[in-house]
A and B are shown apart, each in its own frame.
Chain A
């Protein structure tokens, strides 16, 4: 199980997966936006999206949980 957390304050610009989706290592899960830059958040392992804690338009703080890959 891998927890994916935000590395910085950012807006959630796009959510590209849903809970239950199978993902591969390197797949883009979510695209954050901070200071006009897009920051893709990638899966670091293959697995299933167990939890998805963000929705488009949310603001995440540094350390906030974005998703759990099981």
Chain B
């Protein structure tokens, strides 16, 4: 063992974040970039840069062969996949193992098992953690009707091979099931090449609560508390915060313990996130899925615990022991993250790529900005629209809210449209301040879509 040079197999802000973590551990970095990212901040920061293919991600960031060749050609002995792209690809993890490259993440077997939502639900249920009532794969309308009747309406159709919120449809009563079944399977076929669906109980008044966990190969596992990611648009998170101040403390502790239990009993290695649906009516929580990678919103937990999650991933991957025990993990104050994306909120969230002429992120105590943008940077149209994550920390939620409002007010971006005006409006909303929100709040209350 002994990792010394890390191939950063990602782009954007997370590539920058990984390079910073490597630097602080004294590790060399190689940025794997597409043609479109040759002038990126990650390319400028890394010790070496290797081009892995054309702009289109299927030929670059999603190309397992190109990444492995890039790692070998540059003498990298480890690969960090970031999030998105191939971060949850068992194939990449296996390829790394075959070629003697340390994959910074869990075992290929855990990636595969937990990536299959139905298998993951079964595994977790067997560990004694509550899961949402749901079916196995359903192939016909008749089968779907029978399962939905057992589970109870309202229900959701989800794509068995799905992700990212695509192919999810709600059915509120039996009459609407056949048409929705057809629509959901057509969408699943188009998006994932597999029209198989499954049925799950739909929780209308839900919060999305997730638990950050860390484990090492020696069987140690801890939780780093929960995050409330209920503010979503099209199943994409918009604002995240920790702790989940709106969940009763006793339930919050139960959710944290459930997360730690899953990580410990699975013998999970590296950073992972266990997502739960919290039903505000019944005050019950249910396992949803586990993400076997670093999350976009990991800085919220870093601000609260003072830990460097990416640094810990690297140390664990290098064969290290988890340097913290559960009693070492201390939660201080309150943290909030807003995702700033290049979209025109006045124009139906139309993508807004192009040249950033002015870029003035806020600087203040308790404010952190994770970004790959700079004045003059051209935001390419090929990838997702995340420009920056704005994270604030305060002694309590009120102070964190005040700091976030101030940070958003002073964040200047010109040249591309951003979601900053929309985020300012969200943060000033009395419902958000009071915690009267759920996963549908943005779409229903803020955008007026039922």
Contacts and interface: CB of A to CB of B under 8 A. Distances in A.
A34 B381 CA distance: 5
B57 to A, nearest CB: 10
Nearest to A33: B381
A42 B305 CA distance: 51
Interface stretch (B95-103, B319-327, B349-357): B349-357
B352 A8 contact: yes
Nearest to A38: B351
Contacts of A9: 353-354, 380-381
A37 interface: yes
A35 interface: yes
A35 B354 contact: no
B381 A11 contact: yes
Contact of A10 (B342, B381, B384): B381
Nearest to B54: A57
A34 B341 CA distance: 13
Q: Bin chain A's interface residue count.
A: 10 to 19
B385 interface: yes
A35 B342 contact: yes
A21 interface: no
Contacts of A57: 56
B351 A35 contact: yes
A35 B136 CA distance: 33
B384 A35 contact: yes
A59 B381 contact: yes
Interface residues of B, number: 16
A36 B381 CA distance: 8
A8 B382 contact: no
Interface in B317-351: 342-343, 349-351
A8 B384 contact: no
Interface string B237-248: 000000000000
Nearest to B234: A37
Contacts of B354: 8-9, 62
Contacts of A39: 350-351
B422 interface: no
Contact of A35 (B55, B56, B383): B383
Which of B55, B349, B353 has the most chain A CB within a 10 Å cutoff?
B353
A10 B385 CA distance: 13
A11 B385 contact: no
A10 B383 CA distance: 10
A25 to B, nearest CB: 20
Nearest to A32: B381
Contacts of A35: 342-343, 351, 353, 381-385
B56 A34 contact: no
A37 B385 CA distance: 9
Interface string A16-52: 0000000000000000011111010000000000000
A11 B382 contact: yes
Contacts of A11: 56, 381-382
Interface string B379-406: 0111111000000000000000000000
18 contacts: A8-B350, A8-B352, A9-B354, A10-B351, A11-B56, A11-B381, A34-B381, A35-B351, A35-B383, A35-B385, A36-B383, A36-B384, A37-B349, A37-B385, A39-B350, A39-B351, A59-B55, A62-B354
Given A10-B353, A37-B349, 13 more contacts: A8-B352, A8-B353, A8-B354, A9-B380, A33-B381, A34-B353, A35-B353, A35-B381, A35-B383, A35-B385, A36-B385, A37-B350, A59-B381
Interface of A: 8-11, 33-37, 39, 57, 59, 62
Nearest 10 A/B pairs, CB to CB: A35-B351, A34-B351, A35-B385, A34-B381, A9-B381, A9-B353, A10-B381, A37-B351, A36-B384, A34-B353
